[in-house]
Amino acid sequence: MGIVHSSIVHDCLVAAVGNNSNLVTFKGDFLFDSNIPRYNLDFPVVPIAITYPETTEQVAEIVKCAADNDIKVQAYSGGHSYANYGLGGNDGAIVVHLKNMQHFSMDTKTQIATVGPGTNIGDLQQRLYHAGRRAVAHGSCPQVGMGGHFTIGGLGPMSREWGTALDHIEEVEVVLANSSVIRASETQHQDVFFAIKGAASSFGIVTEFKIRTHQAPSEAIQYTYQVNLGDSIDLARLFKDWQRLIMTKNLTRKFSSELVLFEGGALLSGVYFGSKEEFQGFRLEEHFPIKNHGTVAYLTDWFGMLTSQAEDMIMKTLGGIPASFYAKSMSFTPDQFILDEGVDAMFEYLHSSKKGTIAWFVIFDLEGGATNDPAVDATAYAHRNTFMWMQSYAISLIGPVSSTTKSFLKGLTNVISSSRPGSGSYGAYPGYVDPYMEKPQSAYWGPNLKRLQKIKASVDPNDVFHNPQSVKGVI
């Protein structure tokens, strides 16, 4: 539209937020660039405006303003957008920052919570717990906003028992591309509800969630085992033993686990949501050659149960601030586990390859359980047969991520994918955006992509809600 910061767009957005100049800032304004909430410094996206609506009506007016002026829109609710797609992903979008939309209430009869999308996970878990010791499944990083987390998937320690975060959604209020406001659920606007539960950034902006809650567990066992400076053979043996355990048929859903590989060692940790006696009966230590390197803690504090050693490790490396990094993900189904020779090849690759940084992690997360209960086509989130996720993650401590580091992560994925049964194809987690992936939509949404494309063509034919890897409408 030519000069994007035109008086028409300026006046339209100011009016959209009730003529409150504190609720919108524009490209070119003093300190605008320093206020852009970038998460990955490798992608210096510059939107034309950032809005901070306080009501659903204001969100609708902002979307109308953008659509009328042929400008793309993306919502931003937290801070972990791996390629800054929450800012549009490309220069020139309007950002709807949802930080002011944090309303909360609990229906004590139905135990359904009503929550604003700007609420971050840390605040959500506090508010739920203080409203009757309630809880939902979600990730372990408190800074993540639920507006994105609950509409991408949302995996965490309780997922094996309770499902993904989005499986808790009973109803949403959504602003669509035509600026209409609807409520979507299993009984109304079912196509939009399907799309919101796994691919919302392509379809609309959720301004309110109604979520089903659970009674928070009262006790759990947290375990941590660390191996430092182990050689490739020892580490490969640890991984094989762990993978063999998590592939146990009918493995209890009370058991959560993650195995983290890093420069110089490995960390095995997780939580068993049960009593001391149940955990002792599980006999975890019998499965691994690391008995003398572990700690086991009995927990009665719900918030302590939600901590993640892997997340803590990354946060300590990053210092909780934006950085330049690259990440990839890979799904594993029960018939696409890593063969023993593939495990050996993986550790040989990790030992011998040039990495370009010492700040790298490879995180393997056990999933399955309740996350696999819904059918693949029940929600846009398609990874219902995944029992394990891999996230590889490399951080540059000095400037942009080097080509060496990018090649290291891509090479690791190739080594593993070529060492699995089947075709070697794999899914990718839509929350761990990989901007360099070929055919990302197929990897993120799998067999649900065709239905999503049809819904997109119906409710957002002009692609108002756009980022570089969003769903594109196909009739």
CATH of the domain at 53: 3.30.43.10
For residues 81 and 115, membership in a common domain is answered with: no
| pLDDT given at position 105 | 98
Q: What is the extent of the structural domain holding 355?
A: 220-299+308-444
Q: Is the pLDDT score of 227 beyond 90?
A: no
- Read off the pLDDT of residues 26-75 as tens digits, 9 standing for 90 and up: 999 999 998 899 999 999 999 999 999 999 999 999 999 999 999 999 99
For residues 187 and 327, membership in a common domain is answered with: no
Q: Which stretches of 247-390 are DSSP H helices?
A: 276-282, 302-305, 309-318, 340-352
Whether 462 is covered by a domain: the verdict is no
- Read off the pLDDT of residues 422-458 as tens digits, 9 standing for 90 and up: 766 789 999 999 999 999 999 999 999 999 999 999 9
Whether 469 is covered by a domain: the verdict is no
Whether 468 is covered by a domain: the verdict is no
- Cα separation, 471 vs 200, in Å, equals 10
Q: Is the pLDDT score of 310 beyond 70?
A: no
Nearest CA to 102 among 111, 114, 87?
114
Q: Report how far apart, in Å, the C-alpha atoms of 75 and of each of 17, 157, 201 are.
A: 15, 26, 7
Residue 176 sits in a domain whose CATH number is 3.30.465.10
Whether 264 is covered by a domain: the verdict is yes
Answer whether 213's CB lies under 8 Å from 128's CB.
yes
For residues 235 and 341, membership in a common domain is answered with: yes
Answer whether 62's CB lies under 8 Å from 15's CB.
no
Output 21 or 78, whichever has higher pLDDT. 21
Number of structural domains in the chain: 3
User: Dmax over Cα atoms in the chain, in whole Å?
Assistant: 69
Output 141 or 273, whichever has higher pLDDT. 273
Whether 407 is covered by a domain: the verdict is yes
Q: Which of these three, 62, 97, 132, is where a domain ends?
A: 97
For residues 210 and 260, membership in a common domain is answered with: no
Whether 453 is covered by a domain: the verdict is no
Q: What is the pTM (predicted TM-score) of this model?
A: 0.95
451 half-sphere exposure, CB direction, 13 A CA radius:
20
For residues 117 and 62, membership in a common domain is answered with: no
Looking at residue 110, its amino acid is T
Confidence grade of residue 228 (pLDDT, cut at 50, 70, 90): confident
For residues 351 and 292, membership in a common domain is answered with: yes
Output 287 or 82, whichever has higher pLDDT. 82
- Cα separation, 455 vs 457, in Å, equals 5
- Dihedral angle sign, alpha carbons of residues 128, 166, 308, 470: negative
Whether 452 is covered by a domain: the verdict is no
Q: Is the pLDDT score of 308 beyond 60?
A: yes
Express as a percent the part of the chain with pLDDT over 90. Answer: 80
Quote the DSSP letter at residue 93: P
Parallel/antiparallel/unpaired status of strands 294-299 and 265-272 = unpaired
Virtual torsion, Cα 199, 201, 207, 210, nearest 10 deg: 10
- Read off the pLDDT of residues 213-223 as tens digits, 9 standing for 90 and up: 999 999 999 99
For residues 82 and 165, membership in a common domain is answered with: no
For residues 163 and 260, membership in a common domain is answered with: no
- Helices 7-16 & 56-68 angle (0-180, nearest 10): 160
Looking at residue 405, its amino acid is T
For residues 120 and 186, membership in a common domain is answered with: yes
Q: Is the pLDDT score of 268 beyond 50?
A: yes
Q: Which of these three, 216, 242, 258, is where a domain ends?
A: 216
Whether 410 is covered by a domain: the verdict is yes
For residues 184 and 284, membership in a common domain is answered with: no
For residues 281 and 179, membership in a common domain is answered with: no
For residues 209 and 347, membership in a common domain is answered with: no
Q: Which of these three, 180, 196, 216, is where a domain ends?
A: 216
